[in-house]
Amino acid sequence: MSARLEVLSAEECLQLLARGVIGRVGITVHAMPEVLPVNFRLINGDIVFRTGDGTKLHAATSDAPIAFEVDESDAETLSGWSVLAIGIAHEVTDPDQIANALAVLPDGWVPGEHEHLIRVTPLRLSGRRLSRE
């Protein structure tokens, strides 16, 4: 069985992002990389997630680029895909946008307050799919 690596188009990346529920936000904290899991949804082409006060909120309000990654893999078939989005995160403050997003966002699994809504508009998308033939 041979492996095949496929580079995904931006449209394919968005389709896969739309299937995801758990992703990882990559940010810089004190000049060091940090990757944090979040529940999210793709809403109108933007990645939207909730967070509480702290690291993710600070990154979202600092106008610095962040990375967002989502993937799926199958250990039995040694196949899967990965999508990386790079963009600038912003806190959503419009009450109508917040209400619309909260209606479709998955429930978080981490206890605590997650009262801030963050939106990342992807400026760059890249993705790969690995399959076995």
Q: Show the 3-state SS of 28-92.
A: EECCEEEEEEEEEEEECCEEEEEECCCHHHHHHCCCCEEEEEEEEEECCCCEEEEEEEEEEEEEE
- Domain 3-128 sits in CATH at 2.30.110.10
Q: What is the pTM of this model?
A: 0.86
Q: What is the pLDDT of residues 3-50, one digit of tens each?
A: 889 999 999 999 999 998 899 999 888 888 889 899 999 999 999 998
